Amino acid sequence: MKETSSFFKTLSHLRKSGHITIFTKLKTISAQEEAAVIAFLQSEFELESMEYPGPVSFDAASALWAAKTVFYSAQLLLVRENTIKDLATYFPEVSKPQSLAAILSADLSLRFLPEILLQLNIADSKDPLLPVLEKYLQQFHYSAIGSDVEVAVTDWATELTEPLYRKLYLERIVAKKDQQRAGIPYLNQQLHAAFGLYKNQFWQALKTINQVS
């Protein structure tokens, strides 16, 4: 009987219970494992997209990249033998996500990255891995809501033009009670508009920021 792959097991365990398994050796991922993980993430995505107001397609490449990133960065929490030189192969440069599908597909696993980042930071704040992961989270800042990673977005109105994305973004901010994001004037205004009269019932601690015109 064939043993289930460690990559698949880690990812499904992470998604189901929020725990992560760290192995003794950094393992490479075979094409077969990748296919299994993509299939798993796709089914997870379909379940989650039930909660989305409109249809969003699944971006397999983006989801796989995010899964690999989370897997490797978690392994690197402990396994640091001869890893620095290969850092670029494990963590390739990525460009800013173009589509909502890419953002949401990557978020399936990338939402766990801020927690790993925090642990890495506790272990060694000068780790060369940290800026790499931080850069990822700046680009996929939807997954970074609730963490301390700074966002480099200047024009939020154009960043969140898509109504579906804006809705999910605001919902995530409320769910994580991210005061930092909620303090951004544009988002603050949007949140207040969404809460209406019942602001205190939804988020009493939310501060009101007056937009400078």
Partner 1 sequence: MAKNAAISLSDYRAELPHEAIELLGAIRDWNNVQLAIEEDTIWLKGFTEEQAIAAEIRQLPGLVLYTLRDGLLFRKDALVPAKKMRSALLWSPLEKALRLSWPSFNHNYFGIHEQVAVQLVQRDEEQTAFALSAPLKEIRSTILHTPKFKLDLLQWTLAGDRALILGTPLLAFPGQTYWKRDGHLLPSGLDFEFKNMSPLLQQKYNPDQSNWLLWHTDGSYLAIPKTMIKKLSLSSLRLTENIY
Question: Tokens in use for 26?
Answer: 């950094």
Query: Looking at the chain, how many residues does it have?
Result: 213
CB of 56 to partner 1, least distance (A): 12
Q: 41, 7, 9: which is closest to 27 by C-alpha?
A: 7
User: What is the phi-psi region of residue 124: left when phi exceeds 0, alpha when psi lies from -120 to 50, beta otherwise?
Assistant: beta
**Binding test (CB under 8 A) with partner 1, winner from 82, 198, 205, 212:** 198
Is position 183 an interface residue for partner 1 (rule: CB under 8 A)?
Answer: no
**Binding test (CB under 8 A) with partner 1, winner from 15, 167, 176, 192:** 167
Is position 194 an interface residue for partner 1 (rule: CB under 8 A)?
Answer: yes
# residues contacting partner 1 (CB under 8 A): 17
- Within residues 40-59, the interface with partner 1 by CB under 8 A covers 47, 50-54
- Within residues 52-111, the interface with partner 1 by CB under 8 A covers 52-54
Closest to partner 1 by CB, 76 vs 187, is 187
CB of 162 to partner 1, least distance (A): 13
**Binding test (CB under 8 A) with partner 1, winner from 163, 179, 183, 208:** 163
CB of 172 to partner 1, least distance (A): 9
Residues of the shown chain interacting with partner 1 in the complex, contacts defined by CB under 8 A: 47, 50-54, 163, 167, 170-171, 174-175, 194, 197-198, 201-202
